[in-house]
């Protein structure tokens, strides 16, 4: 390699490592700065409140400070609580807080007194984004409250420090490259780990070590030609990468981010807007069945059983009906195939929640179409479809079969098109029966197309929220709920987002296993 190219490569590697280090260092800096800022501003307001509590004028600059009296509840309306206020540094006269014309700042000290009575002394930022802090502390005859003035703003980003460290690092890396030999990776590692020093001061040993490891890793990789290969590949596929980039970025934002957030939430417990880390508790609670019997709809394993049964029944019906109809549509004697095909695809074309709502209405016990038909046929009167598990489950399956068979039919039609006619002709010449032709020619040719369709269809059915939620609504007593509707109930009926996220993770793992297994099986079948 020519000398200038070697130096360029060294600086390039140093730049890449430094970029990662810079990201880590900036994140650490902002966390550090916000913590400092918070502590400083809260300390300022707290000091002012403490001074007021001692009867002195407030230290530092404040918007408003003084002593708020305990509440006096209105006789007629106990929730109207009147308070009076003595402003610090004023003439010592008490004035009433509140009323329709009260000044804006009074509301802050009034609310602070209420919060003090609920949770004790505190100092905290106002939620209005102004950067002001309210602090309250006990004193004789009430609560001492101080509202700080808006702060001048947090520390600036330390550009000078960074430029100094970066310049030094670049010089080290360059020097290493010029000296060559063992100095080359050494210079790279030292030059790229310069940011570890300010990071250590801001955020301690952990992020600093991380930066050091990044620098070492890049230096090690550069020594083995790893970075050359990496950047070479980047340059070679520049066009392809630029085409992929928008999709990759949107996938990262729209798919990967919610996915990771969902995974993480599963380890937390949500209660009235606060999140508490509980480790694997949610998963343990779900997988142990929550202390319920196995035949209780609240038990995870019961719901899983229903879900699996639901999936198996549906997919079996979808495939059987779809293949049967596809075979029928292939018959030579059938006239108006186009019309039939269109009609049969129609259930697929209608949004499934609309179909689900229509079926729900048809299953209504007193005026529903299905009971009217049963009544006419003399098969029963006023069947209450959603009052027992078997009928409610049947209603769900019927609805979802209606929704699901067109897909399988379309897949089967496509696969049937691709079977060479002469195979059938040869079989006919050999005297094969219709069943033998189906079993030995049609079925083996359908399998490669139906395999992936079955895997996909089973995943859709496993997570078929709309039908369950709209048709049976889990009735009776939640026993026809499947895993995904159960997860919904945890999130939106009980506000237990952590449990819902854990549920979602479990569903994901089950489906992941099934997909891996399913693809393997279908691949094996397609192979011979």
Which candidate, 63, 118, 107, places its Cα nearest to that of 85? 107
**Cβ-based burial of 51 (10 A; exposed 0-12, middle 13-18, buried ≥19):** buried
Q: According to CB under 8 A, which one of 93, 272, 349, 527 is a site residue for another protein?
A: 272
With respect to another protein, which residue has the nearer C-beta, 366 or 430? 366
Closest CB 95 distance from another protein, rounded Å:
14
Cα distance between residue 214 and residue 15, in whole Å:
12
Cα distance between residue 311 and residue 401, in whole Å:
11
Q: According to CB under 8 A, which one of 50, 97, 450, 500 is a site residue for another protein?
A: 97
With respect to another protein, which residue has the nearer C-beta, 225 or 477? 477
Cα distance between residue 508 and residue 502, in whole Å:
10
Binding mask 401-430 for another protein (x = CB under 8 A): ------------------------------
SS (H, E, C) 359-375: HHHHCCCCCCHHHHHHH
With respect to another protein, which residue has the nearer C-beta, 270 or 318? 270
Helical (H) or strand (E) element with 493? none
Binding mask 349-368 for another protein (x = CB under 8 A): ----------------xx--
Q: Which two tokens stand for residue 445?
A: 């040719």
Q: Are the beta carbons of 371 and 459 closer than 8 angstroms?
A: no
476 prior amide bond cis, ω within 30: yes
With respect to another protein, which residue has the nearer C-beta, 263 or 357? 357
With respect to another protein, which residue has the nearer C-beta, 273 or 390? 273
With respect to another protein, which residue has the nearer C-beta, 214 or 499? 499
Binding mask 313-332 for another protein (x = CB under 8 A): --------------------
> 3-state SS of the chain: helix, strand, coil percent to 5?
65, 10, 25
Q: Are the beta carbons of 471 and 359 closer than 8 angstroms?
A: yes
SS (H, E, C) 161-172: HHHHHHHHHHHH
Q: Are the beta carbons of 267 and 278 closer than 8 angstroms?
A: yes
Q: Are the beta carbons of 415 and 449 closer than 8 angstroms?
A: yes
Interacting positions 98-157 with another protein (CB under 8 A):
98-102, 104, 106-107, 110-111, 114, 127-129
Closest CB 101 distance from another protein, rounded Å:
3
Which stretches within 268-299 are classed as H helix?
A: 281-287
With respect to another protein, which residue has the nearer C-beta, 132 or 318? 132
Closest CB 436 distance from another protein, rounded Å:
52
Q: Are the beta carbons of 471 and 395 closer than 8 angstroms?
A: yes
Stretch touching another protein by CB under 8 A, among 307-315, 328-336, 400-408, 472-480:
472-480
Residue with tokens 């979602």: 504
Binding mask 68-87 for another protein (x = CB under 8 A): ------x-xxxxxx------
Closest CB 272 distance from another protein, rounded Å:
4
Closest CB 408 distance from another protein, rounded Å:
34
With respect to another protein, which residue has the nearer C-beta, 348 or 465? 465
Binding mask 365-404 for another protein (x = CB under 8 A): xx-----------------x--x-----------------
Q: Are the beta carbons of 146 and 134 closer than 8 angstroms?
A: yes
Q: Give the interface size with another protein as a residue count (CB under 8 A).
A: 42
In 253-401, the DSSP E strands lie at: 268-271, 274-277
Q: Are the beta carbons of 336 and 420 closer than 8 angstroms?
A: no
With respect to another protein, which residue has the nearer C-beta, 387 or 433? 387
Q: What's the chain's Rg over C-alpha atoms?
A: 35
Which stretches within 463-496 are classed as H helix?
A: 465-467, 483-492
With respect to another protein, which residue has the nearer C-beta, 100 or 152? 100
Closest CB 407 distance from another protein, rounded Å:
30
Which candidate, 436, 482, 140, 88, places its Cα nearest to that of 305? 482
**Cβ-based burial of 74 (10 A; exposed 0-12, middle 13-18, buried ≥19):** exposed
Q: Which two tokens stand for residue 204?
A: 């301690």
Residue with tokens 């046929």: 377
Interacting positions 474-513 with another protein (CB under 8 A):
475-478, 489, 493-496, 499
Q: According to CB under 8 A, which one of 297, 347, 448, 452 is a site residue for another protein?
A: 297
With respect to another protein, which residue has the nearer C-beta, 74 or 418? 74
With respect to another protein, which residue has the nearer C-beta, 239 or 390? 390
Q: According to CB under 8 A, which one of 298, 347, 448, 452 is a site residue for another protein?
A: 298
Interacting positions 238-267 with another protein (CB under 8 A):
none
Closest CB 384 distance from another protein, rounded Å:
7
Closest CB 492 distance from another protein, rounded Å:
9
Closest CB 275 distance from another protein, rounded Å:
13
Closest CB 32 distance from another protein, rounded Å:
25
Q: In what order do the strands lie in the sheet with 122-125?
A: 94-96, 84-87, 62-68, 142-148, 133-139, 122-125
Contact residues toward another protein (CB under 8 A) are 74, 76-81, 97-102, 104, 106-107, 110-111, 114, 127-129, 272-273, 290-291, 297-298, 365-366, 384, 387, 475-478, 489, 493-496, 499
């Amino acid at each position: 390699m020519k000398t200038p190219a070697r130096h360029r490569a060294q600086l390039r590697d140093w730049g890449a490592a430094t970029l990662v280090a810079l990201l880590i260092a900036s994140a650490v800096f902002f966390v550090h700065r916000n913590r400092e800022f918070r502590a400083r501003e809260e300390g300022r307001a707290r000091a002012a409140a403490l001074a007021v509590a001692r009867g002195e004028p407030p230290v530092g600059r404040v918007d408003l400070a003084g002593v708020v009296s305990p509440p006096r509840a209105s006789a007629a309306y106990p929730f109207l609580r009147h308070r009076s206020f003595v402003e610090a540094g004023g003439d010592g006269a008490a004035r009433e807080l509140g009323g329709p014309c009260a000044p804006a700042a009074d509301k802050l000290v009034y609310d602070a007194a209420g919060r003090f009575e609920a949770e004790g002394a505190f100092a905290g930022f106002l939620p209005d984004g102004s950067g002001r802090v309210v602090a309250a502390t006990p004193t004789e005859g009430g609560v001492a409250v101080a509202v700080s003035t808006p702060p001048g703003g947090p520390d600036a980003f330390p550009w000078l420090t960074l430029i100094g460290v970066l310049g030094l690092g670049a010089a080290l890396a360059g020097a290493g490259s010029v000296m060559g030999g063992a100095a080359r990776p050494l210079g790279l590692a030292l030059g790229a780990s310069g940011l570890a020093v300010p990071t250590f001061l801001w955020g301690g040993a952990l992020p600093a070590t991380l930066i050091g490891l990044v620098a070492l890793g890049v230096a090690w990789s550069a020594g083995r030609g790893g970075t050359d290969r990496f950047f070479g590949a980047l340059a070679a596929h520049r066009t392809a990468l630029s085409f992929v980039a928008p999709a990759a970025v949107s996938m990262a934002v729209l798919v990967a981010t919610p996915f990771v957030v969902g995974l993480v939430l599963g380890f937390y417990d949500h209660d009235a807007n606060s999140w508490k880390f509980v480790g694997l508790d949610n998963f343990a609670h779900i997988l142990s069945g929550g202390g319920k019997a196995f035949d209780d709809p609240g038990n995870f394993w019961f719901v899983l059983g229903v879900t699996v049964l639901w999936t198996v029944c549906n997919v079996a019906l979808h495939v059987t009906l779809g293949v049967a109809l596809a075979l029928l549509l292939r018959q030579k004697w059938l006239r108006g195939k186009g019309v039939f095909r269109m009609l049969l695809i129609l259930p697929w074309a209608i949004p499934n929640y609309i179909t689900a709502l229509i079926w729900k209405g048809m299953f209504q016990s007193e005026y529903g179409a299905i009971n009217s038909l049963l009544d006419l046929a003399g098969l029963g009167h006023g069947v209450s479809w959603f009052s027992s598990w078997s009928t409610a489950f049947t209603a769900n399956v019927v609805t979802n079969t209606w929704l699901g068979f067109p897909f399988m039919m379309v897949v089967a039609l496509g696969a049937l098109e691709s079977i060479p006619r002469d195979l059938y002709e040869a079989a006919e010449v050999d005297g094969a029966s219709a069943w033998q032709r189906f079993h030995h020619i049609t079925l083996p040719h359908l399998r490669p197309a139906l395999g992936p369709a079955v895997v996909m269809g089973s995943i859709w059915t496993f997570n078929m929220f709309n039908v369950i939620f709209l048709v049976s609504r889990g009735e009776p007593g939640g026993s026809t709920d499947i895993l995904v509707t159960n997860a919904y109930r945890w999130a939106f009926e009980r506000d237990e987002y952590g449990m819902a996220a854990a549920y979602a993770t479990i569903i994901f793992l089950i489906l992941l296993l099934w997909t891996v297994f399913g693809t393997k099986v279908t691949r094996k079948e397609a192979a011979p």
